[in-house]
Amino acid sequence: MALTPTETRALLARLGHVPKRFLGQNFLVDGNIVRKSLELARISAGDTAVEVGPGLGTLTGALLEAGAEVWAIERDKALFAHLAADLAPRFPKTLHLAEGDAVETPLAGLSAERAPGCKVVANLPYAISSPWMDAVLSGSLPSRMVLMLQREAADRYTASPGTRNFGAISIFLQAAYDTAPGHRVSASCFYPRPDVGSTLLHIVRKADPHLFTPESKMFIRSCFQQRRKQMGAVIRARQPGREPEWRELLRSAGFSPSVRAEAIPVPVWIRLLSRSTGPA
């Protein structure tokens, strides 16, 4: 059960802990959102769950009480110590708690062999959402993820081609996962209240997910660094020796070299980078 704002303030005072803005420490204080997160993730006894930034352990406790085996990583030393003293003794067999940076260890130490069967359920620290997601999309993919995100990040993840929010991270994520507009979450569901809007996003791994190579990711990012430029001009500047090949690939996909990167749909990006030769 989620702690109320009053209970959260009292616990933080007892721990002598002041929420750190730079770590995105806005603690969930709404039990309905906790229940909704577990429901969307379809958590049941025996599931393997990953949590990023467990904080005071509200979501962690709910996952453990539902019978999930939880792998959680917390960067804050004081909060890690609290979880180690409070939750770990109560769930010695099912809680695997790590102290560290989630961008460096995106699945909290869960092995690559077990990662495809896991579910990520997290109130994701806003400061790390995109680098963390990029790290996840560079390894073994969880089966589904239910993430509390800054609304701006959620809008980028779910953006459609041709919109201002569509960018490299949209392409990387949507190549591997099915996304849908998320559920808006009020600032009153957190303590302290965040200054930005939040979205609870549910994404499910595709039957045939595609992961771009590091070289392909670098090329896609370069295309969006000057997003108003036509692809023909981008390729001419960055890959002059491959301009004829790319022009033909674009034409075969139904686009002229005058198209801009933001107008190219995800399946076409996959075709373009899969069929092109040489380093991207």
Per residue in 242-273, pLDDT (tens digit) is 888 888 989 998 999 999 999 999 999 999 88
Q: Is the pTM of this model over 0.85?
A: yes
Beta-ladder partners of 27: 191
CA-CA distance, 182 to 198, in Å (whole number)? 10
Instruction: Return the CA Rg of the chain.
Output: 21
Per residue in 115-154, pLDDT (tens digit) is 999 999 999 988 899 999 999 999 999 999 999 999 999 9
pLDDT band at 274 (very low <50, low <70, confident <90, very high): confident
| DSSP helix/strand/coil, 204 | strand
Topology of the domain comprising 5-205: Rossmann fold (3.40.50)
Q: Tell me which residue of 197, 175, 179 sits closest to 274, measured CA to CA.
A: 175
Per residue in 32-47, pLDDT (tens digit) is 999 999 999 999 999 9
Q: Provide the residue ranges of all domains of the chain, joining segments of one domain with +.
A: 5-205, 214-275
Question: The domain 214-275 belongs to what CATH superfamily?
Answer: rRNA adenine dimethylase, C-terminal domain (1.10.8.100)
Residue 106 has pLDDT above 80, yes or no: yes
